[in-house]
Amino acid sequence: MPTRVHPAQLGDPARIGPYRIIGRLGSGGMGTVHAAVDPDGLRVAVKLIHPAQADDDEFRARFRREVDVTRRVAGPCLVSLLAADTDAAAPWLATEYIPGPTLGRHISVDGPLGGARLYALAAGTAAALAAVHAAGVAHRDVKPANVILAPSGPRVLDFGIAHALDGTSVTRTGVMTGTTGWISPEAYHTGITGPAGDVFAWGALIAYAATGRLPFGTGAPDAVAYRVISGEPDTTGMPDDLLALVTSALAKTPDDRPSAAILAEKCTALLSTQTTQALHPATDIPTAVNDLVTAQWDMPALDDPAWRVPAGRRKGRVRTIAMVVGAAALSGALVGALLIQTGNSPGAKSSTGNPAFLSSPTTDATNNAQSPARSHNPASTATDDPGEASLTAWKESRPARTPAENDAFGAMGTGAWLDPVAYPDFNRAITFHRRGGDVYVATSGQELSPVAVQEVASTVCLGLQDLAKSYPDFPYDDYIVVDTAREEGPSIVWEDDFRTNTSCDTSVQNRRTPAAGQDSDWQPTKSGLEQAHIPSTDKDEIRVAGQTVDSIISEWQGNSRIISDPNWLDNGNVSIGFARDEAVMYVWADKPAWDEATRDRWAALAADTACQAVLTESQARKEWRYAQYAVIVVDDAGSSRFLRWGSAGSCAA
């Protein structure tokens, strides 16, 4: 959970149930998480549901089921549910407050874990998942942002998208749940995951904790998904004994993975060797985990003066919390799925849960900062036309109401949007302007640099594209980023149409003046090239690729049969693939020995051939989807250089 308590805002309640509010811990799509104390001075995190959500019968039913599910769970390294009122006008729930950074934030600042601390993390989190599964629940969002490194040991948070295995679902069906890079192969194949999916995510989590590297890398969600399904994880540098367990957990087939209970037992045995304590066969694993983690954990305790309650208001005794009502920081996890954390997992896009709320967009500021290079049209702020982006329209926009709107925040990813070290107070809110068809994303904390604006824009664009696939009737096209932290006041810093900008290009380098053979209207992307590397099963794509490669090789070789010629090409170093999401045919040659002139000469020939191929197919068959092409050469540094690209209309028939 966040360790900083922010001041309460105008309109915040003084009390919620028996708890006195002293500030805010964060905001999320379903409401606000308040810092509070009980009559005995115990620190508590209280999540108060937003009125707009409370009025939604479907949401209230889901929230009630979430609380019911989390009441089932008790075990080591979880967070205690203290109280909840799901029938109140503004529903709320309270958990014990757990101070400490997320695993993701700790690694981004201090590097990977090692020694006994790493084994304690592995044992504690495995035992927590074993308890979750024993209660008939699957977590479904195990990731660094949902593990807190508390002074007393690791704690697993966030049951915001948990699933009761008896069929009592707490999330909407038909929407992919989880976070890119932490989703199991079977979830990508079927959209369904259970305890075995949690075990897979646990394996990725421990690999990341041990190495500081995301086990399946970074990049576009499709590229990461491909590596999860078909690639091998990066586990270099892990201790051998722990590596064996992680490798088994990362098996591609669910049936080949051990249960969380078995992992907990084996990790606890490994942890006992770190402490030179022999683990008796009859020892209760949860008890052993608690004892061993306590003995080996050395995270420093953190203190925030905002928690200090005046002496006259405290009782004279310390209240202890029994593990009777244990529950893993719930439903949106009080600081999990619904709370915007400052410092989530690196590489990934941030936050968890549904659309976030900072505050209502009510500022009167109208000045705009100069925006960086934009994907399409410059943002306007001087009009009240509902079809145009403006600060006026932003002020009129409303929080999420519909199922699709509620899922917008989760669709944008649940890792860190920005570097938590550079932007420790970064937060965002998503609102909707139905008349204009616009989605507004308001950021706060620190003023965004141009590069940060581009990162936020890319995150939002990709998320909305994914959301539109799940909800074909999603009634929005444009998204607008409003930076509320600018000195001159809230300013629109980015506007784009996520439907027409299919590759979600945002970087300045993608806006440079095109060279010869480079179309100025669009750009190929690395994510598209990665998708093109996925073998096709479409017979027409295979046919066109084979014919085009043969034509390129034939034109390039001429009548030469000298294989030793450094310019020689064959099917081993020329390839063609298709990026279906972008509708682009990619052509690439792996010839690092070529000099610049040779690369350019080959790229020109390959571009002409590729252009004719997509033109011929487009004219012959209306169902042919690829009207654009890109030509790439792998250079001597192993980098893919995009040399030429264009559309079918640019070449002669």
pLDDT tier, 255 (very low <50, low <70, confident <90, very high otherwise):
very high
Task: For 296, list phi and psi in degrees, rounded to 5.
Answer: -110, -10
Give, to the nearest 10 degrees, the angle between helix 195-211 and helix 260-274.
30
Q: CA 635 to CA 598: how far, in whole Å?
A: 11
**What are the distances in angstroms from CA 114 to CA 206, 260, 464?**
11, 22, 38
What average pLDDT does the segment 222-239 reach? 90
CB 61 within 8 A of CB 99: no
CB 98 within 8 A of CB 1: yes
User: What are the pLDDT digits (tens) for 546-568?
Assistant: 899 889 988 887 644 444 566 67
Helix/strand number for the chain, H first, E second: 17, 18
Identify the residue with better confidence: 288 or 40.
40
Least confident of 139-143, 200-204, 585-589: 139-143
User: What are the pLDDT digits (tens) for 603-646?
Assistant: 999 999 999 998 888 888 878 888 889 999 886 656 678 888 88
CB 336 within 8 A of CB 2: no
Give, to the nearest 10 degrees, the angle between helix 240-249 and helix 115-134.
30
Task: For 496, list phi and psi in degrees, rounded to 5.
Answer: -160, 160
Identify the residue with better confidence: 48 or 421.
48
What average pLDDT does the segment 183-204 reach? 90
Identity at 446, one-letter amino acid code = Q
User: 147 - beta bridge partners?
Assistant: 156
Segment of 98-102, 195-199, 511-515 carrying the highest mean pLDDT = 195-199
Please check the confidence at residue 145 and state whether its pLDDT lies above 60.
Answer: yes
Task: For 32, list phi and psi in degrees, rounded to 5.
Answer: -120, 140
User: Nearest 10 degrees: CA dihedral of 310, 316, 320, 321?
Assistant: -50
What average pLDDT does the segment 312-317 reach? 33
First CA to last CA distance, the chain: 62
**Residue 559 has what pLDDT?**
46
Q: Give the chain's mean pLDDT.
A: 75
CB 499 within 8 A of CB 457: no
The SS3 call for residue 45 is strand
What average pLDDT does the segment 144-156 reach? 88
pLDDT tier, 289 (very low <50, low <70, confident <90, very high otherwise):
low
Alpha helix ranges (H) inside 135-239: 185-190, 195-211, 221-230
User: What are the pLDDT digits (tens) for 332-367?
Assistant: 333 333 333 333 332 333 332 322 333 334 333 333
Q: Which two tokens stand for residue 145?
A: 């942002």
Identify the residue with better confidence: 210 or 373.
210
The pairing of strands 640-647 and 427-433 is: unpaired
**Residue 185 has what pLDDT?**
92
Q: Output b/e per residue, 561-599; b: 16+ Cβ within 10 A.
A: eeeeeeeebeeeebbbbbbbbbebbbbbbebeebeeeeb
**Listed residue (461, 348, 343) closest to 415, CA to CA:** 348
The pairing of strands 584-590 and 628-634 is: parallel
**Residue 636 has what pLDDT?**
61
**Residue 621 has what pLDDT?**
81
By the 10 Å C-beta count (0-12 exposed, 13-18 middle, 19+ buried), 634 is classed as: middle
CA 253 to chain CA centroid, Å, is 23
* CATH class held by domain 51-303+329-351: mainly alpha
pLDDT tier, 318 (very low <50, low <70, confident <90, very high otherwise):
very low
Give, to the nearest 10 degrees, the angle between helix 285-296 and helix 260-274.
40
Q: CA 323 to CA 316: how far, in whole Å?
A: 23
Q: Which residues contact 54 (CB under 8 A, 6 or more apart)?
A: 60, 89, 90, 91
Q: Element (H or E) spanning 85, and its range?
A: strand 81-85
Q: Element (H or E) spanning 456, and its range?
A: helix 450-470
3-state DSSP: the chain helix, strand, coil percent, rounded to 5?
Answer: 35, 15, 50
Give, to the nearest 10 degrees, the angle between helix 103-110 and helix 195-211.
20
> How many beta carbons lie within 10 A of that of residue 304, not counting itself?
14
Identify the residue with better confidence: 283 or 132.
132
**Residue 292 has what pLDDT?**
66
User: Which percentage of the chain shows pLDDT scores above 70?
Assistant: 73
For the entire predicted model, the pTM comes to 0.48
User: 428 - beta bridge partners?
Assistant: 443
Domain boundaries, the chain: 51-303+329-351, 391-510, 522-650
**Residue 365 has what pLDDT?**
31
What average pLDDT does the segment 233-245 reach? 94
CB 340 within 8 A of CB 27: yes
Q: Which two tokens stand for residue 216?
A: 């399946």
Task: For 365, list phi and psi in degrees, rounded to 5.
Answer: -65, 145
Q: Which two tokens stand for residue 392?
A: 């006026």
**Listed residue (618, 609, 538, 549) closest to 578, CA to CA:** 538
Please check the confidence at residue 305 and state whether its pLDDT lies above 60.
Answer: no
User: What are the pLDDT digits (tens) for 479-536?
Assistant: 999 999 887 788 888 888 888 777 787 654 343 445 677 776 677 887 788 888 888 8
